[in-house]
Amino acid sequence: MLGPVKYFTTQLMERLKSDEKNEIQAKLESLHWSGLPSQLSPNSLCNYSKSLLGRDFKLIVQVGLYIFWEHLDVREKEVAMEGTLTGE
């Protein structure tokens, strides 16, 4: 089930510009990770997204909409909201 998350994340990170990746890094650094099982490295996500592990993608499922939202196009936002609202 993490395959679509991996594909989406790597494609998004490849198309982002450096300043956009810096925004994502800042968002990740500002998160309070105390309620999550582990922490996602901002540097790993922005520079090595193709090398992330399953546990990293599990965290992206939990915080992805917050860190990626402003970088998604309209269709991506629609798909994200459909999955979120229906629980699929």
Q: Is 22's pLDDT higher than 90? A: yes
Tell me what the mean pLDDT of segment 23-38 comes to.
Answer: 91
Q: Is 88's pLDDT higher than 70? A: no
pLDDT tens per residue, range 38-85: 899 999 999 999 999 999 999 998 899 899 999 999 998 888 888 665
Q: In the chain, what are the domain boundaries?
A: 3-29+37-86
In sequence order, which ranges of 1-73 are alpha helices (DSSP H)? Answer: 3-15, 18-30, 42-47, 54-68
pLDDT of residue 3: 85
Tell me what the mean pLDDT of segment 19-39 comes to.
Answer: 92
pLDDT of residue 41: 92
pTM of the entire predicted model? 0.81
Q: What phi and psi, each to the nearest 5 degrees, are found at residue 10?
A: -65, -40
pLDDT of residue 84: 61
